[in-house]
Amino acid sequence: MTPSAPPTRPGNRPAPADGGSPVRPPGRTPTTGPAEGASPFDRAVALFLSRTRHTRSGSAHTERAYRTDLRHFAAFLAERGHAERHPPETDAPEDAPLPFDAVTRRDAEVYLAGLAAEHAARTVRRRVSCVRSFYRFLRGLELVAHNPFDALDLPDVDRKSETHKVLSDDELARAARLLAADVAAADRRLATSEPGPDRARAFAALFTATRRRVAFTLMAFAGLRRAEVVGLTREAIVERPDGFALAFRGKGGKVRAVPLVGFAYRPMFDWLAVRRRVPTTAPTVLVTLNGRPVAPKQLKRDCRALGLRVEARHPLTPHVLRRTFATRALQASGDIRSVQVLLGHSSIATTEVYTHVDLDGLRTLVEATALPDADPAP
């Protein structure tokens, strides 16, 4: 790949170095306190999210998930606050929501039953766990007298139910070849393009193809989470004689060290060469053609489109790519502790349910232990 002078492109302006809107840190959206005149429930939620934001394990993703789950709970409170809940002599309007500090164990059971009727067990557990943590926080502040969600019986979740959703070696190789071919085709198009709009379009195609390839490589051959890919900063990449090394803080603030060598080296090398040609102040490795950090949803869309091209057996997602890496790493090494370190899991139990070993692999392993001269069983 031989980069030429940066092409001009309508609408492709450098991000302002000063005097303009600053580039937001990846994955973090501006957060504010409750608006003036907010309800007691909204103020309590703001306090809870503020606590979450400043804990060691707090993250933008966790905060967004909590906010979404508590909005769902607020809708339940609004539906639950029927007129019959208010004594006739009170002045409460008929559509007033149930006060959060008046929720009883019966209300909690009704909420759980409603969730179970509409959502999968995993979603039910997540939402109830969020509201339970919310009430534990409020009890600590003495804003409620009890936690109505304590000791609720939540539905069981089979954490191993999707471990089989990994790419086969053929699917993985096919995906890698397709992405490499996209980059090669875009590079040839740029080399033969005429100056002006044609070259700008050719560069845009090369930019997109190299970015998709490196994002795929980081998830499928380095095991990074989607949030870790979009949040990876340039300072996290260390160039070494044998390739690149990534050193970054992953989920829960844990420091991760992941090598990018062999096949994984070239996609990063090509991407960095192309990225340097786009003016940007964004600290992230992955950026858009306008110099902004890439949105997590973009990686999800790219994976879905790639899965259709590959004709994968299962819908392709960033999580499937990470699980594929974990499974292949375990099969290649047999060292689950090292795989745990590569994935950044706090518990080895998480790594155990995250990986998938098929029956053919187990049969091969058992057969390998047989004595060559032993008589077959009668």
Share of the chain above pLDDT 90, in %: 47
The most confident of the ranges 2-6, 53-57, 141-145 is 141-145
Regarding predicted confidence, which is higher, 76 or 250? 76
Q: Look at residue 9 and tell me if it is in a domain.
A: no
**Which pairs with CB-CB distance under 8 Å and at least 24 residues apart come from 231-235?**
231/26, 231/27, 231/284, 232/284, 232/285, 232/286, 233/26, 233/283, 233/284, 233/285, 234/283, 234/284, 234/285, 235/283
CATH of the domain at 54: 1.10.150
The answer to whether residues 213 and 362 belong to one domain is yes
The answer to whether residues 210 and 123 belong to one domain is no
Catalytic option among 212, 213, 225, 275: 225
For the segment 361-373, the average pLDDT, to the nearest whole number, is 56
Residue 251 catalytic?
yes
* Separation of alpha carbons 39 and 129, rounded Å: 23
The answer to whether residues 132 and 183 belong to one domain is no
Catalytic option among 105, 251, 266, 292: 251
For the segment 24-31, the average pLDDT, to the nearest whole number, is 42
Catalytic option among 322, 323, 328, 356: 322
Q: Look at residue 95 and tell me if it is in a domain.
A: yes
Residue 265 catalytic?
no
Catalytic option among 132, 211, 256, 345: 345
Alpha helix locations (H) across 18-168? 40-53, 60-80, 105-118, 121-140
The answer to whether residues 193 and 76 belong to one domain is no
Neighbours of 45 (CB within 10 A): 22
61-88 pLDDT, tens digit per residue, is 788 889 999 999 999 999 887 534 444 4
The answer to whether residues 289 and 338 belong to one domain is yes
The answer to whether residues 122 and 174 belong to one domain is no
Provide the pLDDT confidence category of residue 17 given band limits of 50, 70 and 90: very low
The answer to whether residues 357 and 313 belong to one domain is yes
Q: Of the given ranges (47-56, 101-110, 124-133), which has the lowest mean pLDDT?
A: 47-56
Q: Look at residue 204 and tell me if it is in a domain.
A: yes
- Dihedral sign from CA coordinates of 353, 359, 364, 368: positive
Q: Look at residue 27 and tell me if it is in a domain.
A: no
The answer to whether 226 and 233 are in contact (CB under 8 A) is: no
Q: Look at residue 213 and tell me if it is in a domain.
A: yes
* Separation of alpha carbons 127 and 74, rounded Å: 12
Of 90, 119, 140, which residue constitutes the final position of a domain?
A: 140
For the segment 94-98, the average pLDDT, to the nearest whole number, is 70
162-221 pLDDT, tens digit per residue, is 567 889 999 999 999 999 999 999 999 999 999 999 999 999 999 999 999 999 999 999
Describe the chain by its helix, strand, coil percentages, rounded to 5: 55, 5, 40
Q: Of the given ranges (42-51, 218-227, 345-354), which has the lowest mean pLDDT?
A: 345-354
pLDDT at residue 107 in the model: 92
Regarding predicted confidence, which is higher, 263 or 211? 211
Residue 225 catalytic?
yes
Query: In terms of residues, how long is the chain?
Result: 378
Helix (H) or strand (E) holding 246: strand 243-249
Q: Look at residue 198 and tell me if it is in a domain.
A: yes
The answer to whether residues 91 and 203 belong to one domain is no
Regarding predicted confidence, which is higher, 50 or 185? 185
The answer to whether residues 204 and 329 belong to one domain is yes
Share of the chain above pLDDT 70, in %: 74
Residue 111 catalytic?
no
CATH of the domain at 312: 1.10.443.10
Provide the pLDDT confidence category of residue 367 given band limits of 50, 70 and 90: low
At residue 48, does pLDDT exceed 80? yes
Residue 363 catalytic?
no
pLDDT at residue 51 in the model: 85
The answer to whether residues 218 and 277 belong to one domain is yes
In DSSP notation, 155-200 reads PP--TTTTTT----HHHHHHHHHHHHHHHHHHHHHHHHPPTTHHHH
How many domains are there within the chain? 2
Of 140, 160, 178, which residue constitutes the final position of a domain?
A: 140
Q: Look at residue 209 and tell me if it is in a domain.
A: yes
pLDDT at residue 192 in the model: 95
The answer to whether residues 95 and 184 belong to one domain is no
* Separation of alpha carbons 137 and 144, rounded Å: 9
Q: Residue 283 burial by CB count (10 A; 0-12/13-18/19+): exposed, middle or buried? A: middle
Q: What is the mean pLDDT of the chain?
A: 80
Phi, psi dihedrals of residue 69, rounded to the nearest 5°: -65, -35
Helix (H) or strand (E) holding 260: strand 255-261
Q: Look at residue 135 and tell me if it is in a domain.
A: yes
Of 123, 140, 157, which residue constitutes the final position of a domain?
A: 140
Find all residues with CB under 8 Å of 148, minimum gap 6, and list them.
103, 104, 105, 107, 108, 135
Domain that holds residue 117: 40-140
Provide the pLDDT confidence category of residue 93 given band limits of 50, 70 and 90: low
pLDDT at residue 16 in the model: 41
At residue 91, does pLDDT exceed 80? no
pLDDT at residue 33 in the model: 55
The answer to whether residues 131 and 188 belong to one domain is no
Strand ranges of the sheet holding 237-240, from the earlier edge strand across to the other edge: 237-240, 243-249, 255-261
pLDDT at residue 83 in the model: 34
pLDDT at residue 288 in the model: 96
